[in-house]
Amino acid sequence: MKQITFEWVTKAEGDFAMMERESRARKNPNYDGLCFHAQQSLWLKVSSYGEHAGDQGIQQAG
């Protein structure tokens, strides 16, 4: 696995863990944060697969 792929997967897993923690919050859950981390986790995972396969990855809008 390429180093950049490993880093992206690690960041994706961190975003997913953050999303899970926020989804379990009983008091004042931050749904915007939950959605942001869910989106980031998915984007990083998909991009890491593209990078690992040798593609350019997915360009993030913005």
DSSP string of 11-36, one letter each residue? HHHHHHHHHHHHHT--SS--HHHHHH
Tell me the pTM.
Answer: 0.76
Q: How confident is the model over 11-53, as pLDDT tens digits?
A: 999 999 999 999 999 999 899 999 999 999 999 999 888 877 7
Q: Which residue bears the tokens 């991009």?
A: 47
AA identity, residue 43:
W
Joined tokens for residue 58: 């997915």
**What whole-number distance in Å separates Cα of residue 35 and Cα of residue 52?**
26
16 vs 57, higher pLDDT: 16
The pLDDT value recorded for residue 55 is 54
The pLDDT value recorded for residue 60 is 57
pLDDT tier at 1, thresholds 50, 70, 90: confident
